[in-house]
Amino acid sequence: MSDVELKPVIEIEKLNLVFQTADTPVHALSDIDLTVNAGDFVSFIGPSGCGKTTLMRVIADLEKPTGGHISVNGMTPEEARQKRAYGYVFQAPALYPWRTVEKNIMLPLEIMGLSREEQKARAARNLAMVNLEGFEKKFPWQLSGGMQQRVSIARALSVEPDLLLMDEPFGALDEITRDHLNEQLLKLWDTTKKTVIFVTHSIPEAVFLSSKIVVMSPRPGKVIDIIESNLPRDRTLDIRETPEFLEISHRVREGLRSGHSYDD
């Protein structure tokens, strides 16, 4: 079992990304080293501009690095993307307003060319996974923000990827909804054994969800600290009051403080 869990899914060495802008080049990612193992729940945490989203976009092949090495499932990110190795959940639900909930979930499956029955079956299965049975025929505007984001998670899951990339998926939601979805996400992670990479700027969220926390700092975007969490996999919201939880939170906060340059 431990043998399987240590299989690296993502290997990143000396990764650099420089954006050429009109006046000065921006060093978005600087010498990033990181390994993500199968079954990990990894959070990228840091202030705005630290490159956490950019790093995730590099993994998803939505940005090209300018230096260093990265492999996803032993392939280049481009090959991994073409093999549909991951599901991506964006900051906003990005549902297509002219499609029903069910049709939105079927969108990637249509593109993959699956049979109609398989599409329907997967849509039903993943809607149940995010507790949205019965909403198949609704249009996105008929759903609340939290429900829309859950549909977008179901859509990412329907591809049945082993790797789930989530870019501040609950950032726009209120705290109560967010807590609820965090718990659901943990349960999902525990039952499906997927590898999850999660971008956030909330310390409690990162500590509550993760098995590994990557603390990042801006200008240039780099990794400050990588914290392995020893909290149990099946945790509930109550764990946030335990000394272990507070200790990890403290270490994350220290990392963020040391990395933050207050030059502005």
Partner 1 sequence: MTEHAETSKLGLWRRLYDGKSFPVFVVVLSLLILWYAGAVYMNSDRLIDQYERGKVEWSWQQLIEDAWSMERPILPAPQQIVVELRKTVLEKKITSKRSLVYHSYVTISSTLVGFALGALLGILLAVGIVHLETLDRSLMPWIIASQTVPILAIAPMIIVVLGHIGLTGLVPKAIISMYLCFFPITIGMVKGLRSPDVLQLDLMKTYSASAAQVFWKLRMPASIPFLFASLKVAIAISLVGAIVAELPTGAVEGLGARLLAGSYYGQTIQIWSALVAASVLGMLLVWAVTITEKLVLGRTGREAV
Residues at the contact surface with partner 1, assessed by CB under 8 A = 60-62, 81-82, 84, 86-88, 90-92, 94, 96-99, 107-108, 110-112, 139, 141-142, 159
Q: How far is the CB of 168 from partner 1 (least distance, A)?
A: 12
CB of 61 to partner 1, least distance (A): 8
Min dist CB 263 to partner 1, Å, is: 29
Residue closer to partner 1 by CB (options 96, 237) is 96
29 contacts 63 by C-beta, under 8 angstroms: no
Q: Which two tokens stand for residue 109?
A: 């499956």
Are 238 and 231 contacting, i.e. CB atoms less than 8 angstroms apart? no
Calpha distance 4→16 (Å, rounded) = 29
Minimum Å gap between C-beta 145 and partner 1 is 15
Token digits for 59?
Answer: 């993994």
- Choose between 94 and 226: whose C-beta lies nearer to partner 1: 94
- Residue number, 108 or 221, with CB nearest to partner 1: 108
Task: Decide if 63 contacts 32 (C-beta within 8 A).
Answer: no
**Do 127 and 104 contact (CB within 8 A), yes or no?**
no
What's the start-to-end Cα distance of the chain, in Å?
48
- Comparison of 98 and 262: residue with beta carbon closer to partner 1: 98
